[in-house]
Structure 1
Amino acid sequence: MSRLPRAAWRRLSGASPSGAGRLAAVDGLRLLAAAGVAAYHYLGTPTPRFWGENYDLPRAAPLLHAAGGYGWLGVEAFFLISGFVICMSCWDRTPAGFAVSRIARLFPLYWAVVLIIVVSGTVTVLIGQRSGAPTDLRTTLGNLTMIPRPLGVDFTAGVAWTLWVEARFYLLMGALLLIGLTYRRIVAFGFLWLVLASIGRELRSSAVDEFLLSQYAGLFVTGIALYLMHRFGSDLLLWLLAGFAWCYTLTVLEDRVATHPTSTWGPSAAVLTGFLALLVLACGPLRRVQGRLLVYAGALTYPFYLVHQSLGIPVTRGVLRCVPALGLLPSIAVGLSFSLLLAAVLNRQVDRRFGPVVRRHLTTAIRTPPRIECRSGGEGVPGR
């Protein structure tokens, strides 16, 4: 029997070659994606007179408004990076370990932000002002599950719709983990996902689209292909997977472009730039770039993304109302600075404190299930 090269054995077995680890530069890229989304909400919004009747954003900052109009593509960058990062997070983990890591990472910060939005919105209503976010009990409880849309309630944090997209991606990766994660299986998974998503679009099946994320499948699979290149090295098969996913992405991107007043070529060029940036940072010479500042930027991305719209924009409007002489752009700078500062506080006081606690308790609960007490007074037996 002929012997396979070591690299091939690594791919088939899922073994980790040396050097696989955290990429600080990718953390920095995540914050840039969040900054793009914030630029869209603050500067590029197509809503007329978004900041009030006295403030015409296209006239006050025409270049920033035009550039910010493409900031919504930061969401596409998030999904591209997520495919890379979640594939890396899944490797050498059990399904339970992966679930624990996602819950501990996402939920404490998310719960904190939802409660802050509800409290601030309630206070705003009590003082006679209009609240932008729904604060009733039913909506709040539905949002605490992180899946409010299937429960039929609005999002408390407007940007949280992307978390529901991410959650379904996690479910797909978790299902793959149940089978076992190897190089060969995840490549097959990528091709199969894209084919089934394409069939769902052809059938115009909303159920298939919701389950297989047909609008964003190409971005996730492209990120997965880039991670495999980072981990195992590039080859023709991975370039075919990345190329298939990329062609798919640019084809379905037209649906997203139709909902935004931007040119057709601009979003394609922006998404291509994100792909090239991730390729260089993850698979090129910049993969060895390290730095605490970049890692910290990655840590701030999630809380900043959650708070910049639902909390930062009301602060900006409050500044415009109370200090009109400050002007539009300085007031926007205050709102963004507030969002970044609040993100730093949430990272320190919530993520760093409660994330490890949730992770530790969930891990303990999984490893040592509760014991069932026998009515006869005998020793308990582990619950099944």
Structure 2
Amino acid sequence: MPPSASTNTADSRPRPTPALSQRPVGPSAGGGRLAAVDGLRMVAAVAVAAYHYLGSPTPRFWGEAYDLPRAAPLLHAVSGYGWLGVEAFFLISGFAICMSCWGRTPAQFAVSRIARLYPLYWAVVLIIAATGTVTVLAGGRSGAPTDLRTTLGNLTMLPGPLGLEPTDGVAWTLWVEGRFYLLMGALLLIGLTYRRVVAFGFLWLIVASIGRELHSAVLDEFLLSQYAGLFVTGIALYLMHRFGPNLLLWLLAGFAWCYALTVLNDRVTSHAGADWTLCATALTGFLALLALACPGPLRHLPWRPLIHAGALTYPFYLVHQSLGIPVTRSILKTAPSLGLLPVIALGLLFSLVLAAALNHLVDRRLGRLLRHRLDAALPTEDPPPRERTR
């Protein structure tokens, strides 16, 4: 949870007293975690996992012998929309990252993101590379690239821009998140205030729309035109959570959501059989839940299991496909009599247990250590130049 202060460190000149709508009124000014938001994170992660295990064309993972669409048509059809969990993640991220930015310097924000994302990601990439190498040496076929060059490139979390295949199949979403962090970091350099964040939200959507009209790959790359509406909607919800809802913030949220649902059609058409109306309805329902969890009445929900679920979301998301699915295939190969659905349940359970272990051993220990060391390395002012020795 970020500090409660919302002062602008980039400008120390006296400012007029803000209007009532610009004073922090939500619990974010000094409260605890938002348990309901943590729970929604896990819902999004489970949706993505359901898509990979149950909703995508099943021969891709399980082989032609297992016809899930025929054996469980409703389960397969519903899980086929689980890819919307990625959109849900970006919506939550707009809220959570705006919260994380507030009251921090750009360097402090960078430290918080590096310590949160990289240790777990490094661990998963190295585990995938190690298990893949062992599989190849044993005469099998690795589902992920295991050569040293690809592994080193993936450790940067930038495999796509470096022209490499991702070691972890879900890593493409981390690059989208990373570009959103860069935009928020640029805003932090200017100074984070209520007015500037609102103006930033409207300006981002307008320029992203221009980029789409011009079919500009450069603007699309920097402005995330496919997902800008989701991020800005989340930002608007955080501003409502912190300062209280008002007409301007509802206009920002409405503008952003109309944009998000319009460009959602690009993603819908890339998933065979998906219906835009169903996708828009499901995503709007998730937005309603997030609104209840943020500025709404569920923000005071104190249920600790949801907080623990939120802590497992990131490691579970990282391991469920690139590690969980190979384990599931192995169980299915060695014990086919169990049946596909029970084996899938075992694979998801394995992913959850592995996520809990990584959270305990890597995130809580290595992540905290890295954050502590990086925080200690941030000087309060520029260090003096080293003396030259003759």
TM-score, structure 2 length as denominator? 0.92
1:242 aligns with 2:253: yes
Out of 23, 33, 37, the residue aligned to residue 34 of structure 2 is 23
Structure 1: any 5+ residue segments left out of the alignment?
A: 378-384
The percent identity for this pair of structures is 71
1:280 aligns with 2:259: no
**CA–CA distance in structure 2, aligned partners of residues 7 and 156 of structure 1:** 49
Residue 23 of structure 2 aligns with which residue? 10
**CA–CA distance in structure 2, aligned partners of residues 79 and 15 of structure 1:** 22
1:114 aligns with 2:125: yes
**CA–CA distance in structure 2, aligned partners of residues 229 and 273 of structure 1:** 18
Instruction: Give the counterpart letter for 2:338 in structure 1.
Output: L
Q: Is the 8 A contact 1:105 1:351 kept in 2?
A: yes
Out of 38, 61, 68, the residue aligned to residue 57 of structure 1 is 68
Instruction: Give the counterpart letter for 2:313 in structure 1.
Output: T
1:219 aligns with 2:230: yes
How much does 1:266 deviate?
1.1
Out of 210, 218, 223, the residue aligned to residue 199 of structure 1 is 210
Q: Is the 8 A contact 1:316 1:334 kept in 2?
A: yes
Tell me whether 285-294 or 233-242 shows the greater mean CA deviation: 285-294
Q: Is the 8 A contact 1:49 1:57 kept in 2?
A: no
Out of 345, 349, 357, the residue aligned to residue 357 of structure 2 is 345
Residue 91 of structure 1 aligns with which residue? 102
TM-score, structure 1 length as denominator? 0.93
Q: Is the 8 A contact 1:17 1:232 kept in 2?
A: no
Residue 336 of structure 1 aligns with which residue? 348
Residue 77 of structure 1 aligns with which residue? 88
1:35-85 CA deviation, whole Å, 9 max, x = no partner? 000000000002546301311111122111001000000000000000000
Q: Is the 8 A contact 1:20 1:231 kept in 2?
A: no
Out of 179, 188, 193, the residue aligned to residue 199 of structure 2 is 188
SS at match of 1:150: coil
SS at match of 1:209: helix
SS at match of 1:51: coil
How much does 1:21 deviate?
4.6
How much does 1:16 deviate?
8.7
Structure 2: any 5+ residue segments left out of the alignment?
A: 1-15
Q: Is the 8 A contact 2:201 2:252 kept in 1?
A: yes
1:313-346 CA deviation, whole Å, 9 max, x = no partner? 0001000100111110011001100000000000
How much does 1:22 deviate?
2.3
Q: Which runs of 4+ in 1 moved over 4 A?
A: 3-6, 14-21, 368-373
SS at match of 2:356: helix
**CA–CA distance in structure 2, aligned partners of residues 49 and 56 of structure 1:** 11
Residue 325 of structure 2 aligns with which residue? 313
Out of 283, 286, 307, the residue aligned to residue 295 of structure 1 is 307
Q: Is the 8 A contact 1:225 1:242 kept in 2?
A: yes
**CA–CA distance in structure 2, aligned partners of residues 19 and 370 of structure 1:** 32
How much does 1:10 deviate?
2.4
Tell me whether 149-158 or 123-132 shows the greater mean CA deviation: 123-132
**CA–CA distance in structure 2, aligned partners of residues 19 and 220 of structure 1:** 24
Out of 168, 173, 190, the residue aligned to residue 157 of structure 1 is 168
Instruction: Give the counterpart letter for 2:247 in structure 1.
Output: L
**CA–CA distance in structure 2, aligned partners of residues 60 and 127 of structure 1:** 34
**CA–CA distance in structure 2, aligned partners of residues 292 and 116 of structure 1:** 30
Residue 380 of structure 1 aligns with which residue? none
How much does 1:372 deviate?
5.3
Tell me whether 112-121 or 58-67 shows the greater mean CA deviation: 58-67
**CA–CA distance in structure 2, aligned partners of residues 44 and 362 of structure 1:** 41
Q: Is the 8 A contact 2:61 2:325 kept in 1?
A: no
